[in-house]
Structures are given as C-alpha cells and as structure tokens.
Amino acid sequence: MKIVLSILLFCSVLLADRDGGPYLGLGYGVSKYDDDSVYKEQKVSDSASLLFYGGAYINRHLSVELGYVGFNTRNAYTVIDDTNKEKSLSLSSFNISTLAHYAFFDDILDFYAKFGVGEVSVSGEGESGFTMIYGGGIGVRFNERLSMKIAYDRYMIEYNKERAKHEMHIDFIYSAFEVQF
C-alpha cells in the first residue's frame, strides 16, 4: 500500500501544472473527538492539533495530497472505560486525499472540497484503523508561492466492539500556511 501511495504521489508531482506544481503546508487547529458511546464517559474530548501535508496540483482544479495529523499536541483525549479506569488516547492519522478546487478573482481565492482515506493510530489502545476523510475550505493566495487556508475536515472511523458497530469521528478545524515550489 505504501508503495502504491508513493508512486501515485511521485506521478502527481511529475504531472503538476498549476504555477509551480508541488506544495508543502503546515497547519494548526482544534480537534474534537466523539467516540459514539464506545467508552463509558469522555472527560476531555478536544485538543489542539498539528497538521503537516504535501502534495501537487494535477491541473488547475485537482490536486493530490499526503498528510499527517497529530491530534493531541496540547492534551490527550481522556475517556473512562467500562471498568471505571481513566485512559488517555493519543490519536494520529496518515492519509492521502484528493482536492477539487475552484478559484475566484484570478486565483486569489480558492474554494475546495476534500475527500480521502487514511489510517488512524490510537496509542492509548495500541490499535489503528481505516478512516474516511471529508472536508472543505477556502484559501487565500498572497503571491505565486505563499497562501493561507482555513479548513474543516471530518475523520470517520468505524469501530466494532462487542458485535456493535460504532462510527467514531474527529472534527478538525484549522488554518495552514502553504508554500508552492
């Protein structure tokens, strides 16, 4: 799987065409975790989160992106399990996404929608799982190389516990600076 993702990103960078092609970004925001009643209680459900991503424009309206999100940079999500033990969950995600862009005002404003897949790792439980990512945002281009965006992503995680299917999710609101090469 990692080889396929690497080849996909490499080919995307080679075919890039939007005034500079590849880009890197760094973002910071707030994430909120909802466990869909998997645990008895949630004591801390939000945290500051850090995002690092890189990608390339395939054409003016489409880009492909690899990203890493550390959801617990300020504090871990804290839950109480069925045995009344307090657990700290530290979540992170490695993902690949496709972004559909629509630019206004000679590429100064860029509205986009995001769809992707990835893997979320839970260090407090020692588990990882598949996630679907949906999102959208708006970017403001300052010049040909530098832009800033404000975005919202939702990470949907399916979890099976005691023959019951739960749809946990993480809502992530962030701003990021992006540099194109």
Q: What is the CATH number of the domain that holds 73?
A: 2.40.160.20
3-state SS, residue 11:
helix
Q: How many domains does the chain have?
A: 1
Cα–Cα distance measured from residue 52 to residue 93, given in angstroms and rounded to the nearest whole number: 11
Residue 14 lies in domain: 2-180
Read off the pLDDT of residues 59-85 as tens digits, 9 standing for 90 and up.
888 999 999 998 876 666 666 666 777
Could you tell me the CA-to-CA distances from 135 to 69, 83, 125 in Å, in that order? 14, 36, 27
Q: What DSSP element (H or E) covers 153?
A: strand 146-161
**Structure pTM?**
0.80
pLDDT, residue 8, reads 59
